[in-house]
A and B are shown apart, each in its own frame.
Chain A
Amino acid sequence: MRQQREGSQAVAEAVALCRPDVVSAYPISPQTHIVEHLSRLVLSGSLPGCTYLNVESEFASMSTLIGASATGARSYTATASQGLLFMAEAVFNAAGLGLPMVMTVANRAIGAPINIWNDQGDSMAMRDCGWVQLYAADNQEAVDLHVMAFRLADELELPVMVCMDGFVLTHAFEEVELPTQEQVDAVLPPPPTRPVLDPAAPVTIGAMVGPEAYTEVRYLADRRHRDALRLLPLVAADYARATGRDAAGLVRTYSCEGADTVVVALGSVLGTLSDVVDQRDVGERVGVLGLTCYRPFPADAVRAAVRSARRIVVVERSLALGEDGPVAADVARALAGSGRSVSTVVCGLGGRPVTSAVLHRLLDRVARDDLPQRLFLDLDRDVVDREMQRTAALARRAEEVRS
């Protein structure tokens, strides 16, 4: 049914349709509305049999989910920013132990400086933790990806992170079509049997592994993780069949066929980018490539999508200090040796809106063939220059005092 809903509420409803056994919750902006709405659903009796755990921290939240999933429970939590970093040790363990669960990350900048607004620095810091990472372009996709994430988690026996831009999506009140319970049940059967902790039939999960086998265990974990590249398109096709709605697979392409330039991005900027591309001269031939699946990295799908393009522009919503942006590095590796130029464009950090005007400025530079390999698109150069002058003056003053 089509509804006008807040993104967080729509996601909570979608999670509820997946019949979770355990929801572990610790509030942090901009995620809080999701677990709040789930708590209301549990309290109202719409989620019979679901245990809702109020825990004392994000670390406890992830740790309780590890326990819950190890007993076979379908498990869910949501977090953001410092919360994700605080649970980091347990996040890696959940993946290493091969425990299916789903976590929403309402993308938010990480400190310092403390900042509650949206960028993707938090989930990017966890990109190599072994979780499958999916990024929603809008709230419809956020809803759909959560259902697919539970199915992926079950089939892969791996945890899956669904990332959605904090505030921009979580607090946007827009149209979504929630699947029916029957549609969700058709895509997501009850959790399959797997080895679980059960006092009646004891097994060990998470034994110590020494140098004699650690490499092999990690190699196999990597193989299993990469299997998401095969599985996600199949799950998306199942979901599309059940709901009659187009569902994202590994990537989403827009006007990429015959494009000269392809702009690569993740998350809510994709919609604005598509509108901006439509407003440009047809002659500019710009396409948009959205990475729905970021981990494992869909290198083959990226290569296929940019086939016709000479120039690739990667819009980064996070900054890897000392090394530009993580997404551009992955894209460049996927396209190594192909002769295409890959530019990194950093913008929208700490909640600075990526407006259509800013994106038009970017495409103006592309059209003029005036795009450096690395560009801070929305940087206020005056502020930076002033601060650098001030620091230099202070250093000179300190030097004078010393001599």
Chain B
Amino acid sequence: MVDVRIHGRGGQGVVTTAEVLALACFVEGRHAQAVPSFGSERTGAPVAAFVRVSDQPIRSHDPVEEPDIVVVQDATLLSLPSVVAGLRPGGRLLVNTHRSLPAAVLAATAGRTVTTVSASAIATRCVGRDVPGPAMLGALAAVTGVVLVDSVIAAVQDRLAGRSTAGNVAAVTEAFETTLAAVGGEARASAT
């Protein structure tokens, strides 16, 4: 079982990112569950969604409290302690930013691997809008064994059919390749 928590802001497609990730894992023949956390549907408000991925059918329906991976679609949210709360030792933090992360965030995530990707810039270039979700999943595929990039692309083509599909697929691919190059051959076999 791999537990993922995705943070972003209302209107940024956090729930869609979670569903695309779950669908990508389903496409691979594994079991997945995406559940949004509710109540903050207002545009701009902090939003979170959870994804569970497993080789076994998934029974639990509670929120993920100790994720293996935290995906942050809006780096300004890193000022909230809840964003990295519970991230397991040895886990992974993936942040959408083109800057280096504040020292406080690095201190709070000591013992975890931190990766950044300029997902907003990639999305703006490929899709024409700041919809970072697909690019974040491309980067996730590059640095973890949770999901293959081809499965992410298949899920984007399905779940985002008719919604700038080609641009979103391009964003997945670009983020995957950039991130892979940036981490320079880091092992991708591990679950996290």
**In the complex, A46 has a CB within 8 A of chain B:** no
Chain A residue with minimal CB distance to B66?
Answer: A357
Residue from A117, A174, A354 in contact with B32 in the complex, judged by beta carbons closer than 8 Å: A174
Question: With the chains together, A165 CA to B35 CA distance in Å?
Answer: 13
- Chain A residues with CB under 8 A of B62: 272, 353-356
**In the complex, B188 has a CB within 8 A of chain A:** no
**In the complex, A380 has a CB within 8 A of chain B:** no
Assess A138 versus B65: contact at CB under 8 Å? Given A4-B22, A173-B19: no
| A172 lies within 8 A of B38 (CB) | no
| B65 lies within 8 A of A268 (CB) | no
Assess A173 versus B38: contact at CB under 8 Å? Given A271-B59, A272-B59: no
Residue from B32, B57, B63 in contact with A353 in the complex, judged by beta carbons closer than 8 Å: B63
Chain A residue with minimal CB distance to B1?
Answer: A275
Question: With the chains together, A271 CA to B57 CA distance in Å?
Answer: 11
Residue from A6, A275, A355 in contact with B65 in the complex, judged by beta carbons closer than 8 Å: A355
Chain B residue with minimal CB distance to A166?
Answer: B38
| B38 lies within 8 A of A167 (CB) | yes
**In the complex, A116 has a CB within 8 A of chain B:** yes
| B65 lies within 8 A of A175 (CB) | no
- Chain A residues with CB under 8 A of B23: 4, 173
Distance in Å: Cβ of B31 to nearest Cβ of chain A: 6
Residue from A30, A168, A357 in contact with B61 in the complex, judged by beta carbons closer than 8 Å: A168
Chain B interface, number of residues (Cβ within 8 angstroms): 21
Question: With the chains together, A172 CA to B32 CA distance in Å?
Answer: 10
Assess A274 versus B59: contact at CB under 8 Å? Given A4-B26, A117-B39, A355-B65: yes
Distance in Å: Cβ of B18 to nearest Cβ of chain A: 7
Question: With the chains together, A174 CA to B34 CA distance in Å?
Answer: 6
Chain B residue with minimal CB distance to A357?
Answer: B65
- Chain B residues with CB under 8 A of A165: 61
**In the complex, A83 has a CB within 8 A of chain B:** no
| B38 lies within 8 A of A351 (CB) | yes
Question: With the chains together, A387 CA to B59 CA distance in Å?
Answer: 37
**In the complex, B60 has a CB within 8 A of chain A:** yes
Distance in Å: Cβ of A10 to nearest Cβ of chain B: 13
Chain A residue with minimal CB distance to B33?
Answer: A174
Distance in Å: Cβ of A40 to nearest Cβ of chain B: 15
Chain A residue with minimal CB distance to B25?
Answer: A4
| B35 lies within 8 A of A175 (CB) | no
> For residues 27 through 68 of chain B, which have their beta carbon under 8 Å from a beta carbon of chain A?
31-36, 38-39, 57-63, 65
Question: With the chains together, A4 CA to B22 CA distance in Å?
Answer: 8
**In the complex, A269 has a CB within 8 A of chain B:** yes
Chain A residue with minimal CB distance to B26?
Answer: A4
**In the complex, A171 has a CB within 8 A of chain B:** yes
Question: With the chains together, A291 CA to B143 CA distance in Å?
Answer: 44
Binary flags per residue of A159-179, CB closer than 8 Å to B gives 1, else 0: 000000101110111110000
Distance in Å: Cβ of A101 to nearest Cβ of chain B: 28
Beyond A6-B19, A116-B38, 13 extra complex contacts between A and B, CB < 8 Å:
A167-B38, A172-B34, A173-B22, A173-B23, A174-B22, A174-B32, A174-B58, A268-B61, A274-B59, A351-B38, A355-B63, A355-B65, A357-B65
23 contacts between A and B (CB under 8 A): A4-B22, A4-B23, A4-B32, A30-B38, A116-B38, A117-B38, A138-B61, A165-B61, A168-B61, A173-B18, A173-B19, A173-B34, A174-B34, A174-B58, A175-B31, A268-B61, A269-B61, A271-B58, A275-B59, A351-B38, A354-B62, A355-B63, A355-B65
Identify the 7 closest CB pairs spanning chains A and B, nearest first: A271-B59, A173-B34, A4-B26, A268-B61, A272-B60, A174-B33, A355-B62
B interface residues (Cβ-Cβ under 8 A, vs A): 18-19, 22-23, 26, 31-36, 38-39, 57-63, 65
